[in-house]
Chains A and B, each alone.
Chain A
Amino acid sequence: MDRTEILDALKQAILTYDEDGARALVAQALEAGIPPLELVDGGLSRGIKAIGEKFQAMEVFLPELMLAAKVFLSALEMIEPALVGLGENRARQGVAVIGTVKGDVHSIGKDLFATLLKVAGFEVHNLGVNVHPGRFVEKAQETGAQIVGLSALMTTTMPSMREVVELFVTQGIRDRHAILIGGSPVTQAFCDKIQADGYGETAQDGVDLAVRFAGQREQRRQPC
């Protein structure tokens, strides 16, 4: 197989959820000296983009999207040492800190968002559920995350989102981090009211917003 064929086959492996096939192709490609970054951009990412489009069109469904992400991340795991070895870095979209807010223990949508962010090229720090506002601030400062993602699935815990936004304001670091919010009871109107930066109705909407906002902010780690 030549380079183009391998890249197409990688894309196809994502589309057919073929983890073993994807890993075998990666091994073969690295052996053949194809630049590792090209495997990601020219192969795996094209596959995941196609799956994302099918998901939006309701041709594939949530479990299939998650399976495709698993295949992607499994293949990526093999490619990453090669990238590091070459001193190359996968074009990182940015750093994101995400979690479900205080008082709320729903995790599924938030974890899906985390997975899709990883697939999109973000370094993701997933703080879990029932996360105290202070933890978001700490982790955002420590990692220099451009994106802070908050999830709430209950009307009773939505006010925690406001607390987090306000804490970033009182810490004087509000302009350094884009705060994105999501979850079934959350709306754009609520986002405007608490002055968060963006609201994503679906996990994919959230990723699109994250890509946009990360491009506008550079990573700034707090000096330790």
Chain B
Amino acid sequence: MLIVGELINSTRRQIQPLLEARDGGAIVDLARRQVEAGAHLVDVNCATLMEGEVECLAWAIQTIQEACDARISVDSPNPMALRRGLEVVRDKAMLDSINLEHERWSGFLPVVREFRPEVVALCMDDSGIPTTAEGKLALATTLVEGLTGAGIPPQDIYIDPLIFPIATDSGCVSVFLEALDLIKKRFPEVRTICGLSNVSFGLPHRAQINQVFLVLCLAHGMDAFILDPLDRRMMANMATAQMLLGQDEFCRQYLGAVRAGKFDFLKARRV
């Protein structure tokens, strides 16, 4: 299981000012807390800084790397920012994200070839996001063929089938899970990844929906998530589901998490 911490993202209202002010202390603190909570990678996105993005992204990555050991997911729609970000990443980087839209694909592929990062690849092209499992598989196939052709080994490719809000399409989670099954069967070595929050758009108690969606994804073999690792219930659910799915021999991870206090938040509710 691979967890990418999503919190350092300039589209979040409280983050953009920290990035603009180059508040290294606050950014490092947020990176550290995500790693302590279980994130393997810290995603860094400065896209809303527009013309300031390239410089800020490089600064944020270097600042985080100086202070903690986390690997970095370089998150940008801009090939120039991506290149600059990948240049300063110390360990193996993740690139978030490529897709089959003509401009995105042709702009990013040279960067992918040059830096050979792990790549998050979205099932989306110029006509949009497919709404059927077969449609998602077809785009996943094109993505895998294109990326392996560019020298990325299958185990470094993370396919995101892309989830829609359940509020607008009651069948979309079933389709998503079916696509996940198809992709994993067709490409056993390729990994899969997804974000969680889109599924709950337009509904009350979004965290609850995201948490249950995570468990469903786990049951269908999802390899990685981009999420908020500071959500304690989410992380507790993940440890529990992995144990129940037979991915935790002798329940070692689960019990370790309990002893490390990761389930302490449940105690407060007993009284």
1/0 contact string of B218-259 vs chain A (CB within 8 Å): 000000000000000000000000000000000000000000
Chain B: interface residue count, which band?
20 to 34
Say yes or no: B48 contacts A105, CB within 8 Å. Answer: no
B128 within 8 A of A: yes
Interface centre among B48, B202, B204 (most CB of A within 10 A): B202
* Chain B residues with CB under 8 A of A61: 167, 202-204
Say yes or no: B127 contacts A62, CB within 8 Å. Answer: no
**Closest Cβ neighbor of A61 among chain B residues:** B203
Interface centre among B47, B77, B168 (most CB of A within 10 A): B168
Q: Which residue from A107, A111, A130 sits with its C-beta under 8 Å from B126?
A: A130
Q: What's the minimum C-beta distance from B173 to chain A, rounded to whole angstroms?
A: 13
* Chain B residues with CB under 8 A of A58: 204
C-alpha gap A185/B48 in the complex (Å): 9
Q: What's the minimum C-beta distance from B187 to chain A, rounded to whole angstroms?
A: 24
* Chain B residues with CB under 8 A of A129: 127-128
* Chain A residues with CB under 8 A of B165: 62, 108
Say yes or no: B101 contacts A62, CB within 8 Å. Answer: no
Q: Which residue from B128, B166, B202, B203 sits with its C-beta under 8 Å from A130?
A: B128
Q: With A108-B165, A185-B11, A185-B48 as given contacts, are A62 and B126 in contact (CB-CB < 8 Å)?
A: no
A171 within 8 A of B: no
1/0 contact string of B73-108 vs chain A (CB within 8 Å): 000011000000000000000000000010100000
A103 within 8 A of B: yes
From DSSP, what is the main secondary structure of chain A's interface residues?
loop
Q: What's the minimum C-beta distance from B164 to chain A, rounded to whole angstroms?
A: 7
* Chain A residues with CB under 8 A of B167: 61-63, 66
C-alpha gap A156/B50 in the complex (Å): 9
* Chain A residues with CB under 8 A of B78: 156
Q: With A63-B203, A112-B168 as given contacts, are A154 and B77 in contact (CB-CB < 8 Å)?
A: yes
Task: Give the size of the chain A interface in residues (CB under 8 angstroms).
Answer: 17
* Chain A residues with CB under 8 A of B124: 105
1/0 contact string of B138-163 vs chain A (CB within 8 Å): 00000000000000000000000000
Among residues 200 to 224 in chain B, which have CB atoms less than 8 Å away from a CB atom of chain A? 201-204
C-alpha gap A154/B10 in the complex (Å): 13
A155 within 8 A of B: yes
1/0 contact string of B165-181 vs chain A (CB within 8 Å): 11110100000000000
* Chain B residues with CB under 8 A of A155: 11, 47-48, 50, 77
Say yes or no: B77 contacts A105, CB within 8 Å. Answer: no
**Closest Cβ neighbor of A112 among chain B residues:** B168
C-alpha gap A23/B16 in the complex (Å): 51
* Chain B residues with CB under 8 A of A111: 168
* Chain A residues with CB under 8 A of B202: 61-63
* Chain B residues with CB under 8 A of A185: 11, 48
Say yes or no: A156 contacts B77, CB within 8 Å. Answer: yes
C-alpha gap A129/B128 in the complex (Å): 7
Among residues 94 to 118 in chain A, which have CB atoms less than 8 Å away from a CB atom of chain B? 103, 105, 107-108, 111-112
Say yes or no: A108 contacts B164, CB within 8 Å. Answer: yes
B30 within 8 A of A: no
B182 within 8 A of A: no
Among residues 53 to 76 in chain A, which have CB atoms less than 8 Å away from a CB atom of chain B? 58, 61-63, 66
Give residues in B with beta carbon < 8 Å to A. 11, 47-48, 50, 77-78, 101, 103, 124, 126-129, 164-168, 170, 201-204
Give residues in A with beta carbon < 8 Å to B. 58, 61-63, 66, 103, 105, 107-108, 111-112, 129-130, 154-156, 185
Task: Rank and list the top 3 A-B pairs by shortest CB-CB distance, nearest first.
Answer: A62-B202, A105-B128, A62-B167
**Sample of 12 more A-B contacts, CB < 8 Å, known A62-B201, A108-B201:** A63-B167, A63-B168, A63-B202, A103-B101, A111-B168, A112-B168, A129-B127, A130-B126, A130-B128, A156-B77, A185-B11, A185-B48
